[in-house]
Every structure is written in C-alpha cells, then in structure tokens.
C-alpha cells in the first residue's frame, strides 16, 4: 500500500470514529432527562452556577446535585473550573452541541414567563416590601415583573395591575382600584406621628405640645396634603407662615428629616425601619391613621406567578407584624 493510500485509509478511519462519537453523543443527549438537560444548558449559557440557579429559580445546591447526577450518568466531567470562572470541558462542548441541535430539530418553543404587574403605594414599597422584592429577584432571575408606584388616589384609580397594595382610610378599602378584583384584604393599620432625627433631639428639648413646634422646621410630603385623616397635621402646616418645606419626593423628605433637624409626619413603624428617627407622641389629640389594603385582579388571581407575589407580600407583613402594633 502506497503512502497516499495509507493516508487516505487512516483519514477515512478517523472520520468514521468521529461519526461514531457524534452518533454516540447524539443518542446520549436524546436520552437525557429534560430537567437535567435544562440544568446543564442554562449553566453552560450563564457560565456561573449561582446565576444559572437564579435563572431556573432553584437553589444552587439543587442545581449542583442535578449536574453531578448528569455527570455520573454520562461518566464524564462536563465543566472545567478555574480562577477565570466556569467553562465547558471537551465532553461538555460535545453534549451542549448535540442538545442545541436536538432543540432546533424538535422546534421546541421558548417558554416565556408571564408579565406580572404589581402596583404598590410608594411608602409601602420603599419601607416594607422593597427588600423582600429584591431578595425574590435575586433568587429568580427569570421572573417578568413590572412594579408601579402609587402616590395618590388618582394614580390608584388609573392603574391596571395584577396585584395592588394601597393605603386607604380606616374602616373601608374605598376608594380602591377601578377594575374588578378579589375581596380586598387589610394587611395592617398604620398610626402616623411626627418624627425627628435622634441626633437633633435631646430628651430635654423634645417638643411636648404644638406650641413647642414653633422653633422647628416642618417637612411635608406634598401627597400627604390630600389625605383626609391627616387633617390635624395638614392644618398645622397650612397655618405656618414660615418654617415649612414641601416636597414631591418622599426620599428627599426623609433626608430632610434626617439631616436638617426637621419634623415630618411618618408612620409609627419608622423607628424600626430607621433607627435614627424617633416618634413624637402626644402632640395631637386626634389620631391620624391609615390602613394598608391588598387586592388581586379577578382575571389573574389563579396565575402561579401572581400567587407567588401575593404570598411574598403576606409573609412580609406577617414577619413585620410588630412594626404595626401601636
């Protein structure tokens, strides 16, 4: 056999081996459990187990167990670990290529998460729900969530959402959302009191009556000026010829109280949320109260993702119940 013939014969043999290997990986890929295949492909795409677990909405430990199970079944290592991160091994690249090819051939549709719309009173989102919503998104990167803030009764009437959390007067959820919802549920009752930063308030100089407020700057969130139950405070603010600042931004209002020795009206739970603030009880004879209400859109109440958001909100208020005790 000539050199040319030997080379051709060797090349054909190597080609047949490559074809056999590809056929073998194709058969292996086709037989893999769909959940294991999904864990592998998402991990390959993300290049990070933690990010892949977030995208799949599972714990990282569960993802790692699934991948170990897959490697045990295939009797090979699918990933290379280095200081630069996670990458696919040679066998991992082969398996990934075959899984992608199978997905294209089968024409598997992309499963999209439904868009969940959450409308929340501005102060409730900032003070109570914000941290837990961030934690939810850290665990579940695939969720599609639109968060809208409500800063007035007009905004509440105009919004369309799957879950609505709003502030209403005591005894009734009205006025509530303008669309059909489930029966509104009361989550908490909030008492409102004037607050001041501790750093600017020694015990001996704290105001004990309305006349004592004459030497302090009053800070007003403009939206609160329309709240009927805040009439005692709003009357005081309206009668002030000087020493009043009104703000459209609640964040800036809080900053003014913290840093400018101002006094502003806040829910009584603020001392739990911000240890630097202290309530000033006894200045007003008439209590100033609002209630937190939640309702779910009647058309989407059975959706799994909507139920997940509702459960998160209920758990958050339950865990912080001592915040709402007078």
Q: Is the Cβ–Cβ distance between 294 and 187 less than 8 Å?
A: yes
Let me know whether 91 and 141 are in one domain. Answer: no
pLDDT at 213: 86
Let me know whether 166 and 25 are in one domain. Answer: no
Let me know whether 65 and 143 are in one domain. Answer: no
Let me know whether 299 and 183 are in one domain. Answer: yes
Q: Is the Cβ–Cβ distance between 78 and 91 less than 8 Å?
A: yes
CATH of the domain at 163: 3.40.190.290
Domain span at 158:
115-324
Query: Which of 106, 132, 160 is where one domain is finished?
Result: 106
Query: Which of 89, 106, 123 is where one domain is finished?
Result: 106
3 state DSSP class of 103: helix
Give dist(CA 137, CA 117) in Å, integer: 14
> Rounded to the nearest 5°, which phi and psi values hold at 168?
-130, 175
Let me know whether 154 and 272 are in one domain. Answer: yes
Let me know whether 54 and 186 are in one domain. Answer: no
Q: Which residues contact 68 (CB under 8 A, 6 or more apart)?
A: none
Give dist(CA 155, CA 158) in Å, integer: 5
Give dist(CA 172, CA 152) in Å, integer: 17
Q: How many domains does the chain have?
A: 2
Let me know whether 22 and 137 are in one domain. Answer: no
CATH of the domain at 91: 1.10.10.10
Let me know whether 173 and 289 are in one domain. Answer: yes
Let me know whether 91 and 174 are in one domain. Answer: no
Query: Which of 53, 83, 106 is where one domain is finished?
Result: 106
Instruction: Tell me the pTM.
Output: 0.69
Q: Is the Cβ–Cβ distance between 143 and 136 less than 8 Å?
A: yes
Q: Which residues contact 283 (CB under 8 A, 6 or more apart)?
A: 193, 194, 207, 208, 209, 210, 213
* Residue labelled with tokens 């897959």: 70
pLDDT at 24: 79
Crossing angle, helix 90-106 and helix 34-46, to 10 degrees? 120
Q: What is the pLDDT along the chain (326 residues), one digit of tens a residue?
A: 443 444 444 443 443 433 344 557 788 888 888 888 888 888 888 888 888 887 787 888 999 999 999 988 888 888 888 766 778 888 888 888 888 888 776 655 545 567 889 999 999 999 999 999 988 887 776 778 899 998 877 788 888 899 999 999 887 888 888 888 999 999 999 999 999 998 877 766 778 888 888 888 999 999 999 899 999 999 999 998 889 999 999 999 999 999 888 899 999 999 888 888 999 998 998 999 999 999 999 988 888 889 999 999 999 999 999 998 76
The reply to whether omega before 175 is within 30° of 0 (cis) is: yes
Token couple for 163: 């879950």
> Rounded to the nearest 5°, which phi and psi values hold at 121?
-55, 135
Let me know whether 149 and 204 are in one domain. Answer: yes
Let me know whether 19 and 132 are in one domain. Answer: no
Give dist(CA 37, CA 101) in Å, integer: 13
Q: Is the Cβ–Cβ distance between 47 and 87 less than 8 Å?
A: yes
Let me know whether 94 and 191 are in one domain. Answer: no
């Amino acid at each position: 056999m000539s050199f040319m013939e030997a080379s051709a014969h060797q090349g054909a043999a190597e080609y047949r081996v490559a074809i056999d290997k590809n056929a073998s990986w194709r058969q292996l890929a086709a037989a893999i459990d769909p959940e294991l295949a999904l864990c592998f492909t998402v991990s390959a795409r993300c290049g990070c187990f933690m990010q892949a677990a977030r995208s799949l909405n599972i714990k990282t430990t569960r993802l790692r167990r699934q991948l170990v199970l897959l490697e045990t079944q295939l009797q090979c290592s699918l990933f290379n670990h280095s200081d630069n991160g996670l990458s696919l091994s040679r066998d991992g690249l082969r398996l990934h290529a075959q899984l992608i090819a199978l997905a294209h051939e089968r024409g598997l549709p992309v499963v999209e998460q439904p868009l969940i719309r959450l409308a929340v009173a501005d102060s409730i989102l900032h003070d109570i729900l914000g941290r837990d919503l961030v934690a939810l998104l850290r665990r579940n990167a695939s969720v599609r969530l639109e968060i809208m803030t409500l800063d007035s009764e007009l905004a509440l009437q105009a919004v369309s959402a799957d879950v609505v959390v709003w502030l209403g007067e005591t005894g009734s959820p009205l006025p509530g959302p303008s669309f059909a919802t489930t029966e509104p549920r009361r989550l908490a009752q909030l008492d409102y009191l004037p607050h001041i930063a501790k750093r600017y308030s020694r015990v001996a100089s704290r105001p004990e009556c309305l006349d004592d407020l004459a030497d302090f700057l009053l800070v007003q969130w403009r939206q609160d000026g329309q709240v009927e139950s805040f009439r005692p405070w709003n009357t005081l603010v309206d009668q002030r010829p000087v020493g009043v600042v009104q703000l459209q931004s609640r964040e800036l209002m809080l900053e003014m109280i913290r840093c400018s020795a101002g006094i502003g009206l806040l829910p009584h739970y603020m001392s739990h949320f911000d240890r630097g603030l202290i309530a000033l009880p006894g200045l007003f004879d008439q209590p100033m109260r609002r209630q937190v209400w939640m309702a779910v859109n009647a058309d989407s109440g059975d959706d799994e993702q909507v139920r997940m958001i509702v459960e998160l909100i209920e758990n958050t208020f339950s865990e912080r119940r001592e915040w709402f005790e007078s």
